[in-house]
Structure 1
Amino acid sequence: MQESKNKVLTRALGLPECVTITAGAVIGVGLFTTGSSQVGIMGSSIIIATIIAFLLVLWPAAIYGELSAALPLAGGTYAYAKRAINYPVAVFCSWNYTVAQIGIGGAEALAFANYWAILLSALGIPWNVDPRITASTLFIIFVAVNYFGIEFAGKWQNCSMYFFWGASIVWFISVFNKMDFTRFTSPIAGIPSSVTSFATVVLMVWWCFAGFETVVGMGAEVKFPKITLPRALCISPFIVFGVNTLFQWFLVGLTPADSLSGLATATAPFAFCMNTAGIIGIPVVILCLGITFGGDFSTMNPCVTGPARYMYVMANDGNMPKAFGRLHPKYNTPHISILTVGILGVLLISTGSIAILAAMCAFCQMTCYIIGYISYLMLQKKEPDLERPFKVPFGTFGAWFSIATYAVLAILALDMHALPFNLGFDAICILYYFIFVRKRPIPQEAIDVELLTLQSTSPTAEEKLSLDKQFNRWKFAAIAAFIVSLLLFVISYFL
């Protein structure tokens, strides 16, 4: 049992870290590349796609809040599926999640490379380095950050997210006087007539919200998880909506009408917007600083942390090499898994295509989410007496609704360029399971580690009061961001 205790991860993440990890995993490559490029297709009607995408994650985030409070374990959806459905489905899910998160990290690194080159250009510094080299270097830096402990990674995450929010506010102020409100037409005028085209737009905007459950994969490292995790998951979608909508609002109001369609194919839509609008100098520098050292950094961190934890718990269960389950003797991190994420990330970056990575990862994430919702439903039947500190209102209906909508959206928005990658990867996963895993039982030590991990402590009365005050501050900020951003769009239609 002592050896099992040595494999239990350290609980060091509080509500601020959980929110910045969740929001940071989402706010980044989606918003500043594939997500914002949809403004070129829908114009000011982008708010409709954003509201739909928000509604498509609101219930699921709460469902994951209930799951994570009941089972605060490393591995997130893998841990839930293993317990609720069966082992093979859990392995399949974990593989898909792992490649999705690493792919998002790779796409984020490539987005960083694009905006980094623009930043240096704005400062008059020539930069002719291959974006894949810049992106790979960034990915390796974040592998090092995660190698040195979850507490260090959590502090880095907070700094990156706070810097991004601060830089965003300064940028908003610096370009506000350039806004042209005549570009806000009818909210439904830009909706594509084709159902498939509209589904594709919604999927790409939804990708700006995907990753909302990232922190549950670190459930074994969260302090007071039965309280902290559901709170973080319930307020984060409102923060993400506020940030996405504010940036979309500026993108619509700043981009000249005759250049709007160019956003659809721009590799760096916000840089394209400012260039066509004739905005140069300090605002460009502020924007690129916020995106690179804030948005990109805050996304890169959880894209290394999350999949490494999935690899760690899978190794403990015997379906990946044992080395992936080792913890560093000093930093208590799954260092071999973290290094492996780095290698895989660099390989995906070598494709050089954000679009293919986005489509591939979106399909992988859809698959994992559907498995997560099924796990939620089956866990209710298999373990009705499981302690559930947080319960989702109308959770059963929400799970079925989410399964149906995610399945339809995935089919309608299927990307034929990315599909071979998805099918090939899934085929490898299935073959791997039947050849190497099928006859291996889960080791008793892994069961002991899981039981020890679930023995999380409850806060004292004083700690609970402090946690409640902290949550109220974050809740107020999240609701304020949601209301203000939505009102800006509504008011602009009447100006």
Structure 2
Amino acid sequence: MEAENPNQASGTHLARSLGPVMLWGLGVGYVISGMYFGWNLGLAEGGTLGMAIATGLIILLYITFTFSYTELACSIPKAGGVFDYAHRALGKKWGFLAGMAQVIEFVFAPPAIAAAIGAYFHIFLPGIPVVVIAMFAYLVFTTLNIIGVKAAASFELIITILAVVELLIFAGITLPHFEWANLEKNSLPHGTKGIWACIPFAIWFFLGLEGIANVAEETIQPQKTILKGFGSALLTLIILCVLVFVSSIGVAGWEAIVYASPGAAPSDSPLPLAMAQVTGNSGWVYHLLITIGLLGLIASFHGIILAAGRASFEFGRVGYFIKAMGKIHPKFKTPANALLINMSLGIIALLTGETGAIITIACFGAVTLYIISMVTLLRLRQKEPNLDRPFNVPFYPYFPIIALCIGIVCMIAMITLYPLISLFYFGILAIAYAWFHFFVKNIADEQHPNSPGVDNLPGK
């Protein structure tokens, strides 16, 4: 296949350079900021018990989804991820909607993380506004991603390892002060409704893991490497999720890591609040761990920018977005235009200052992706039983069906509890689909004969 050759002179082909360790670093890195902030906002909605139940449901979702999605990624190792899978199984319309949901997820997640980076740095640099720090972070890490995927992935691996170590140190300091009674304090403040309200914040614990599939086109032997990357990353993240949840709430109850003071706005930095309960907020241990903790935010911020660039690039490459987004930088061989446009959109979202709403929009995109990708897997099994599948999801069809059902439940819960945000999200999808329907779908294949139609995808 043409795209398999890394030495192609074409300006639309990505070079292969990533192995399983790099994929583990990317997978954990995409997600690890979810351990550092964002999830604690769910505690204000459902308390410890509500958030725990929601998180357990989401862990089951990600276990079943990840193994199912790995089958798709190994069978169709393309930069567009779910866009390419759905395009093949369900046709152009569903392929576009799936790809658009993925782009929304990956474009809206970074500004929420950037806001948290700004909030963490603001602890040490109170004279610099949070938004200025966040915008500077966008410029730095977009530039790094433009320079090259191997350099970007190597940097990601290093900071991800440091971020994991920091979480282990955090747990080591806080767990000796754990008291079970702290988990029981006001554990379900808004009743069972609070459980459903926690769902997007539980998803935030793991959101972005599917981004591993978007670098499949840049992975060495993707049919073998992707499984190793997905599986090891998921196991690492589940362990860290449970550890952070228990150790941070266990020191003083959930309210202590949501509100810096009584009546204050919910905080974007729960781990510093938990640490302050143990070490105070002026000791060297506190400041050291907060400094290292920034690496977790940076790992996810940088990693999701990388995945977002590939998702947007694929849309541009097949003519579903502006053509410039589908071009590769002639020197660095990276999707520079897609990265720059994503940065511009992310900064606009950042300037709204609505971190909780931005997280929820990203989660709407993610859940849409999960639902469509599971339908895609079930459809491909029927439509192309002889497709080369280097990895088969275990317990088929139960795993994809479980993931599909949980995804639908999550979508219904989020629409019910966040109606205005859901209108905004589906409004974006509707406007994008109108553009696709009236201006793109009838000419895209003619202009781009190598678009991901059935005859042009691997395994056919």
Q: TM-score w.r.t. structure 2 length?
A: 0.89
Match of 1:86 in 2: 91
Distance 2:411 2:333 in 1: 38
Match of 1:140 in 2: 139
In the TM superposition, 1:10-25 aligns within 5 A as 10-25=15-30
1:239-285 CA-to-partner distances (Å, cap 9, x unmatched) read 11111111112212222587477489333222333345562322321
Distance 1:259 1:168 in 2: 18
Match of 1:405 in 2: 406
Match of 2:290 in 1: 288
Q: 1:26, 1:208 within 8 Å by CA — same for their partners in 2?
A: yes
- Alignment pair present for 1:439 and 2:442: yes
Match of 2:251 in 1: 254
- Alignment pair present for 1:234 and 2:231: yes
Classify 1:417/1:389 alpha carbon distance in 2 versus 1 (closer, same or farther; 3 Å).
same
Give 3-state SS (helix, strand or coil) of 2:419's partner. Answer: coil
In the TM superposition, 1:96-245 aligns within 5 A as 96-118=101-123, 120=124, 126-185=125-184, 190-191=187-188, 194-245=191-242
Q: 2:84, 2:452 within 8 Å by CA — same for their partners in 1?
A: no
Distance 1:21 1:376 in 2: 24
Q: 1:106, 1:346 within 8 Å by CA — same for their partners in 2?
A: yes
Q: 1:150, 1:333 within 8 Å by CA — same for their partners in 2?
A: yes
Post-superposition offset of 1:129: 2.3
- Alignment pair present for 1:371 and 2:369: no
Post-superposition offset of 1:175: 4.1
Structure 1 unaligned blocks of 5 or more: 121-125, 456-495
Post-superposition offset of 1:10: 0.8
Letter in 1 for 2:25: T
Distance 1:266 1:429 in 2: 34
Q: 2:208, 2:304 within 8 Å by CA — same for their partners in 1?
A: no
Give 3-state SS (helix, strand or coil) of 2:40's partner. Answer: helix
Post-superposition offset of 1:147: 0.2
The partner residue of 1:35 within 15, 34, 39 is 39
Match of 2:362 in 1: 361
Match of 1:322 in 2: 323
| Larger mean Cα displacement after TM superposition, 244-253 or 80-89 | 244-253
Match of 1:51 in 2: 56
Letter in 2 for 1:380: R
1:195-246 CA-to-partner distances (Å, cap 9, x unmatched) read 4321121331122112221110111001111011122222322211111111
Q: Name the % identity.
A: 20
Letter in 2 for 1:388: R
Post-superposition offset of 1:295: 0.9
Letter in 2 for 1:217: N
Distance 2:325 2:147 in 1: 16
Give 3-state SS (helix, strand or coil) of 1:190's partner. Answer: coil
In the TM superposition, 1:331-350 aligns within 5 A as 331-350=332-351
CA RMSD of aligned residues (A): 2.7
Q: 2:31, 2:205 within 8 Å by CA — same for their partners in 1?
A: yes
Distance 1:454 1:157 in 2: 29
Q: 1:4, 1:448 within 8 Å by CA — same for their partners in 2?
A: no
Q: 1:215, 1:306 within 8 Å by CA — same for their partners in 2?
A: yes
Classify 1:20/1:453 alpha carbon distance in 2 versus 1 (closer, same or farther; 3 Å).
farther
Classify 1:389/1:273 alpha carbon distance in 2 versus 1 (closer, same or farther; 3 Å).
same
The partner residue of 2:433 within 430, 435, 450 is 430
Post-superposition offset of 1:450: 10
Post-superposition offset of 1:190: 2.8
The partner residue of 1:9 within 9, 14, 28 is 14
Q: TM-score w.r.t. structure 1 length?
A: 0.83
Letter in 2 for 1:197: G
Match of 1:492 in 2: none
Distance 2:323 2:137 in 1: 28
